[in-house]
Amino acid sequence: MTQGPTRRTVLLATGAAALTVGCSEYGDEDSGSSSSSVDASAGQELAKASEIPVGGGKIFAEEKIVVTQPKEGEFKAFSNICTHQQCPVADVSDGTINCSCHGSKFSITDGAVQNPPATKPLPAKQIKVSGDSITLA
């Protein structure tokens, strides 16, 4: 009767030790990668200017930003969150930034609503373009 609990105790202790080792290794990796991502957010290169189609745009979901190029050499950036019910916008086509949740469309030039149900424009975001490099401002 006493052997059963003793074996379980040994197994549990071994499992806990293995978990502890695993956690400390992952913890070290996490702290390393999170400090580098903090560095990357300020002045981080978002894209090459050549990646943004003229008359279109590109969505950067992780950075929550849409970069557009309404005219050659003229770049704009907007929030990627639809002002209707906060879906992330789905794509950019035919001069508009499109939300697939309920069909709202926003201008790639100024973020203005081109198609309801959204009633407010996409907020503008700050970017810097230097040469072929687009960075978060």
Contacts to ligand FES by CB under 6 A: 82, 84-85, 87, 99, 101-104, 117-118
**DSSP letters for 30-41:** HHHHHHHHHHHH
The nearer residue to ligand FES, 22 or 123, going by C-beta atoms, is 123
The nearer residue to ligand FES, 71 or 102, going by C-beta atoms, is 102
Supply the minimum distance, in Å, between the C-beta of residue 55 and ligand FES: 22
- Measured CA to CA, the distance from residue 127 to residue 137 in angstroms comes to 5
The number of CA neighbours under 13 Å toward the Cβ of 51 is 14
Supply the minimum distance, in Å, between the C-beta of residue 135 and ligand FES: 28
State both tokens at 66: 């849409």
Supply the minimum distance, in Å, between the C-beta of residue 106 and ligand FES: 9
The nearer residue to ligand FES, 99 or 134, going by C-beta atoms, is 99
Supply the minimum distance, in Å, between the C-beta of residue 41 and ligand FES: 26
Any bridge partners for residue 69, and if so which? Answer: 54, 56
Collect all residues with Cβ–Cβ distance below 8 Å to 56 and sequence separation of at least 6. Answer: 68, 69, 92, 93, 95, 108
The nearer residue to ligand FES, 83 or 136, going by C-beta atoms, is 83
